[in-house]
Structure 1
Amino acid sequence: MQLRKTMFVGLLSVTLLSGCSWFSGEEDVVTMSPLPKVDNQFQPTTVWSRSVGSGSGEFYSNLHPAWQDDRVFAADRRGVVKALDADSGKEIWSTNLSIHTGFFSRNRPAQLSGGVAAAGSRVYMGSELAKVYALDAQDGSVAWETTVAGEALSTPVLSDGVVLIHTSNGILQALNEADGAVKWTVNFDVPPLTLRGESSPTTAFGAAIVGGDNGRVSAVMINQGQLIWQQRISQPSGATEIARINDVQTTPVVVNGVVYALAYNGNLAALDLSSGQVMWSREIGSVTNLLVDGGRIYLVDQNDRVIAVDTQGGVILWRQSELLHRNLTSPVLYNGYIVTGDSEGYLHWINTDDGRFVAQQKVDSAGLLAAPIVAGDKLIVQAKNGEVYAITR
């Protein structure tokens, strides 16, 4: 049963990403919008590029780089992890985690899946083989590896001396930062059919806030794993199992005591951090992370509209609808602009005031799946083929 679910969910992810329906009939086919024509107000420049293994290939993967102390850390699905100089792209060290999997052959791919995280003196990542790794940030040596409760599809989060990981079977675990030992485990309900991927927790005031496959947002005490509150922001609805999917797959954002969370086939909601009480909600669904800045929420909905929402009451300020079904990445804020990538390998730069395009750049024909990251004055982008790019205005 588990195998059937895994295959079905994996297929569903591919279907959602490709923009095509399973069902017959022309009316069910979703067409990617043509590339909008943009008169660039400035020309984004590629400063350097560097290959990091073979990327994610045809697999759905949330692998994305991390940045800390003028170093960019990036990985591929097979297990190659590299530290690159942020200014030049020069390789500082390279580690191959495939020899550490311990399954059948020392050369079996590690199947890295969660995004790379860098904190303190270490770099963290998870795998589909239920492993979490901690590497030394200076030389790439393996500090520890731990077997967790399921596929580690979320990005590890370091807080209060523990590494938080949310696994594919709905389990949140805290690992000791020093040696990777499991400190506590919280099990959330998981419905029969879910999207592939899990919400990475965010932390605030000693609590981990995480979305679940059951349409709920939960707050857990980091020091002991005790549940503080749960709040449903999405109710299953629709005639089919697919229509009833309501995962909170995105990472919640906490600003000024308010939790902003977003569900697939559900709602964008603002919750009180201390109680979980719903302050307001709007019928907007997504699987990509949102960002909050200057009293506004910026997000990409499940049809790939880029939307700006007021944080006070959830009023929609503008929509950019010329990128429908181009399989956009989560948006980031860089140099005052919203930047998002698409599956054809383009970066789109959008004005935060009115949603108009200000620039467009072809990065890599392999396509972009993971969100760009901001590294000081640079934007770091990893294409599906493993090529990493540093871009400036």
Structure 2
Amino acid sequence: MTFTRFIPVALSQRATRLLGGALSALALATLAACGSSKPSPAPLESLKPEASLTTVWSQRLDSVSGALTLASSQGVVTTASTDGEIAAFDGATGALRWRAQAKGDLSAAVGSDGRHAAVVTTDNELQVFDQGKWVWTERLPGRVITAPLVAGERVFVQAVDRSVRGYDALDGRWLWQYQRPGGEPLALATSGALGAFRDTLLVGQGSRLVGLDPLKGTVRFDVNVGTPRGTNEVERLADLVGPMARADDEVCVRAFQLSVACLELNRGSLRWSRPQAGAQAVAANERLVVGADGADRLTAWKTENGDVLWRADRFTHRGLSAPAIIGERVAVVDAEGYLHLLSSTDGRTLARIELDSAAAAAPLVANQLLYVTTRKGTLYALRAN
């Protein structure tokens, strides 16, 4: 059972005092849950495959101990290992485009627009590479876990304290900083919501999604995704979990342990929200949104209105990754390294294959392929047939 992956981070002295007692109680509960009474993972179901998953290519880097994110742009897939190795591959063939070595272990990686790649080290250094060649480094004022976003010749970085900074990708010039006033005193130490929609930068600020002008850092819209009702700051943590899922002109996102919601980005408004206590990101397309709760029960909702399409209870306590949608299929990886392929229509299992270990980050779909990076550092490019 992983506890530290979602541990809260104190942002003030008052929060630190509250965090002490709250984490003590939470740690005791976690230890109890991880003891002899810990629920056993549901056994693998008997399966007569109705589809197939084939490995198109695979590449190996060093192992991944944190939640490092894959990036895909312009037909290039970029990945990284915890010890700072960064590599870009042709998305279709797996041919190596370039390889680089960051100076230090990584806490957040990797963001890329197909040319520039950005990572953050455990020493809080933002390092940027141009097709594998180091170009600049900037010391950041705080810890970063969310992978940087590289877009429009800009690099955007979101720190654990929810502050967001914009830099010029070419020369490292600091452009602006944004942090929503009156935020919560605690933040969640896991990958947050940071993305782009047309000419708007999307950032999570607690349980709110804020749209920013990427050139100035000024606010275009600010939408509340949900209101937590806990009795203390720890229980009220509801940070938006990344990566967000795009569905045409909408984005769907999870608020930690609170809800799943879809927002209309053209209007900057909430379309719908449904309660679900989960910790992993969701997947979405124009037809459905899929997410797992804290016990690994999968639910699919209609993207247009949030009505439930189907539920699947057969993966309980198997430690599911964030799901991905590839065509008419839903893919999800469990903690034992099994990749399950489900029908998006009714949730039945169509195929299953075994990878070399559990997924290190949310699976990524691009170029009509499914990309998965595992804890052992293998990047798989898979095709669903």
Query: Is the Cα–Cα contact under 8 Å of residues 160 and 187 in structure 2 kept in the other structure?
Result: no
Equivalent pair of 2:363/2:373 in contact (CA under 8 Å): yes
TM-score by length of 2: 0.83
C-alpha distance 358-221 of structure 1, shift in aligned 2 (>3 A) = same
Pairing 1:1-393 to 2, within 5 Å after superposition = 21-23=30-32, 29-56=38-65, 61-86=66-91, 89-98=94-103, 110-137=104-131, 140-188=132-180, 191-213=184-206, 215-239=207-231, 241-253=233-245, 255=247, 257-273=249-265, 276-365=268-357, 367-393=358-384
Structure 1 residue runs of 5 or longer lacking an equivalent are 99-109
Residue 240 of structure 1: how far off its partner (Å): 5.7
Could you list the per-position Cα deviations for residues 31-67 of structure 1 after superposition, in whole angstroms to 9, with x for gaps in the alignment?
Answer: 43223332222332234433212322xxxx2213333
State the Cα distance separating 1:71 from its structure 2 match. Answer: 4.0
Q: Is the 8 A contact 1:169 1:190 kept in 2?
A: no
Q: Offset of 1:332 from its aligned partner?
A: 1.4
CA contact (8 A) 2:241 2:253 kept: no
Name 1:106's counterpart in structure 2: none
Partner SS for 2:52: coil
Distance between the aligned counterparts of 1:130 and 1:339, measured in 2?
A: 34
Q: How far, CA to CA, are the matches of 1:379 and 1:204 in structure 2? A: 22
CA distance in 2, matches of 1:321, 1:119: 38
Distance 1:334 1:295, change over 3 A: closer
8 Å contact from structure 1 (residues 55, 387) kept in 2: no
| Residues in 2 aligned to 1:372 and 1:24: alpha-carbon distance in whole angstroms | 28
Q: Could you say which residue in structure 1 is the equivalent of 2:3? A: none
Q: Name 2:4's counterpart in structure 1.
A: none
> Is contact 1:210–1:252 with CA below 8 Å preserved after alignment?
no
User: What is the letter of the counterpart of residue 136 of structure 1?
Assistant: D
Match of residue 105 from structure 1: none
- 1:118–1:325 CA distance, 2 compared to 1 (3 A): same
Asked if structure 2 preserves the Cα contact closer than 8 Å seen for 1:368 and 1:384, the reply is yes
Rounded Cα–Cα distance in structure 2 between residues aligned with 1:171 and 1:328 = 29
For residues 183-231 of structure 1, what are the alpha-carbon distances to aligned partners after superposition, in whole Å with 9 as ceiling and x for unaligned? 1101135534443224232222422222223x22212221211123323
Change (3 A) 1:252 1:94: closer
Contact 2:260 2:273 in 1 (8 A): yes
- More strand by percentage: 2
State the identity as a percent: 24
Change (3 A) 1:127 1:38: farther
- Give the Cα–Cα distance (whole angstroms) in 1 for the partners of residues 317 and 276 of structure 2: 16
- Could you report, residue by residue, the CA deviation over 1:127-163 in whole angstroms, capped at 9, with x for unpaired residues? 33322222222xx111222223322211222334322
Distance 1:3 1:191 in 2: 10
How far, CA to CA, are the matches of 1:248 and 1:383 in structure 2?
Answer: 24
Cα deviation for residue 92 of structure 1 reads 4.5
Aligned counterparts of 1:378 and 1:313: Cα–Cα separation in 2: 28
CA 225–28 in structure 1, closer or farther in 2 if over 3 Å, else same:
farther
Unmatched runs of 5 consecutive residues or more in structure 2: 1-9
Alignment partners' CA distance in 2, 1:29 and 1:376: 40
- Does the CA contact (< 8 Å) of 1:329 and 1:341 recur in 2? yes
Relative to 1, partners in 2 of residues 1:294 and 1:77: Cα closer, same or farther, differing over 3 Å? same
**1:227-286 deviation per Cα after TM superposition (whole angstroms, max 9, x unaligned):** 233232232323465433211123444545544332012222333435544333211243
Indicate if the aligned counterparts of 1:75 and 1:116 stay in contact, CA closer than 8 A. yes
Determine the C-alpha separation between the residues in 1 that align with 2:203 and 2:255. Answer: 12
Cα separation, 2, equivalents of 1:307 and 1:194: 26
For the aligned residue pairs, the C-alpha RMSD in angstroms reads: 3.2
Assess, with a 3 A threshold, how the Cα gap between structure 1 residues 226 and 34 changes in structure 2: closer, same or farther.
same
Task: Describe the shift of the 1:156–1:232 C-alpha distance in structure 2 as closer, same or farther (beyond 3 A).
Answer: same
TM-score by length of 1: 0.82
